[in-house]
Copies of this chain bind each other. A is one copy, B any other.
């Protein structure tokens, strides 16, 4: 009989996960928020990411209005990626994950 309803928490958490899930989205947002603007700079700032994955995730993040793709019509054309204001709302999540990740690494080191 009876399970306790945790839907009030589970539902919004899943909404958030749906947007930022995967191995790369948060790292890319962090990189862009740090000030990396060019495709190659972002790529080089995130170890292990391939151009294919980066291109795909950048499109995703643009659709969610977390970053902006800016074309500058010089010769040669420049393309810049900048964070949208909405990206700032992710800061508490990033901070929480960063804090937890740091302590988790400590914990694992101390065990072994």
Chain A residues within 8 Å of B, Cβ to Cβ: 2-7, 9-17, 19, 21-23, 26-27, 30-31, 33-36, 38, 40-42, 44-47, 89-90, 92-105
Q: Please report the C-alpha to C-alpha distance between residue A15 and residue B23 in the assembled complex, in whole angstroms.
A: 10
- Identical chains in the assembly: 2
Which chain B positions have C-beta within 8 A of A105?
12, 15
Say yes or no: A3 contacts B97, CB within 8 Å: no
Say yes or no: A27 contacts B45, CB within 8 Å: no
Say yes or no: B100 contacts A17, CB within 8 Å: no
Q: Please report the C-alpha to C-alpha distance between residue A48 and residue B28 in the assembled complex, in whole angstroms.
A: 30
Smallest distance from the beta carbon of A2 to chain B beta carbons, Å?
Answer: 8
Which chain B positions have C-beta within 8 A of A2?
41
